[in-house]
């Protein structure tokens, strides 16, 4: 079972009522998206309340919200758990991501300003430092941030809106990859191709990037399905 007692941001500064319920929900959603509460993890009110430094009431309310938002699910005899995406849902997410990021990479190739290029390089440098320090969680967040910065500097308003809607789910997908260092190296190669305007290399590396992430996620999903017959397929 996932240990839910590790240090977490505490939303206790919020006033009781809707504001606290919202703050607790955001804190729990962040733990899920970052992979600190992985797919299938039980969401126990008392344990989560202790972890966040709040009473059980706002946690109970926030868990109902997370169910409505698709981040959690109630299973008979198991209680509330972090949602496990089915294989079909994972396929759909990757298809959407592939279509949108292909457009994004084409827009970025050869068209990134010097200031934007510096932002992207700085993002990669921070992630490299996190990896060198052995901080996996920070490196995973850095990999997700690279996609966000690329969106910020290269997407138009409509594409940005679509990618932003996929943002948290993309970060969730990235947390499922077993090796954030591998993702980082792919980002380094992608950025080099983007900045030199090498569109064939960008398309090849972009497809490879999606393929390796998808294969890793499918491997993990199959492992969870084998070990837990209750996992959807």
Which pTM value belongs to this model?
Answer: 0.72
Per residue in 12-45, pLDDT (tens digit) is: 555 567 889 999 999 999 898 878 898 889 999 9
Residue pair 49/59 in contact (Cβ under 8 Å)? The answer is yes
Q: How far, in Å, CA of 141 to CA of 136, rounded? A: 9
Predicted pLDDT of residue 15: 54
* Secondary structure class of 231 (helix, strand, coil): coil
For the segment 102-110, the average pLDDT, to the nearest whole number, is 94
Q: What is the CATH number of the domain that holds 107?
A: 1.20.120.530
Tell me, yes or no, whether 75 and 188 share the same domain: no
Per-residue b or e along 175-195, where b marks 16 or more CB atoms closer than 10 Å to that residue's CB: bbbeebbebbebbebbbebbb
Q: Which of 192, 187, 104, 93 is nearest to 140 (CA)?
A: 187
Per-residue model confidence as pLDDT tens digits over 195-212: 999 999 999 999 988 887
**Parallel/antiparallel/unpaired status of strands 72-75 and 79-82:** antiparallel
Q: Is residue 9 assigned to a domain?
A: no
Predicted confidence band of residue 11 (pLDDT cuts 50, 70, 90): low
Nearest to 123 by CA among 143, 103, 96: 143
What pLDDT is stored for residue 3 in this prediction?
Answer: 45
Domain span at residue 117? 87-227
Same domain as 203, residue 223: yes
pLDDT band at 70 (very low <50, low <70, confident <90, very high): confident
133 and 162 part of one domain: yes
Identify the CATH number of the domain in which residue 63 sits: 1.10.10.10
């Amino acid at each position: 079972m996932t240990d839910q007692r590790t240090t977490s941001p505490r939303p206790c500064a919020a006033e009781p009522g809707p504001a606290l319920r919202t703050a607790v929900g955001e804190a729990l959603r962040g733990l899920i998206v970052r992979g600190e509460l992985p797919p299938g993890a039980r969401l126990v009110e008392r344990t989560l309340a202790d972890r966040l430094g709040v009473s059980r009431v706002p946690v109970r309310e926030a868990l109902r919200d997370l169910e409505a938002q698709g981040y959690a699910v109630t299973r008979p005899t198991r209680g509330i758990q972090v949602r496990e995406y089915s294989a079909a849902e994972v396929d759909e997410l990757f298809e959407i991501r592939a279509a949108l990021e292909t457009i994004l990479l084409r827009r970025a190739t050869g068209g990134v300003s010097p200031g934007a290029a510096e932002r992207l390089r700085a993002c990669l440098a921070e992630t490299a430092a996190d990896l060198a320090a052995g901080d996996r969680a920070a490196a995973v967040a850095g990999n997700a941030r690279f996609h966000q910065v690329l969106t910020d500097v290269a997407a138009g308003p409509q594409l940005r809106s679509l990618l932003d809607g996929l943002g948290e789910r993309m970060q969730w997908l990235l947390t499922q990859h077993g090796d954030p260092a591998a993702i980082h190296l792919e980002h380094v190669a992608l950025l080099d191709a983007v900045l030199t305007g090498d569109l064939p290399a960008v398309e090849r590396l972009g497809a490879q990037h999606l393929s390796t992430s998808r294969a890793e996620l499918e491997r993990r999903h199959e492992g969870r399905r084998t070990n837990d017959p209750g996992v959807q397929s």
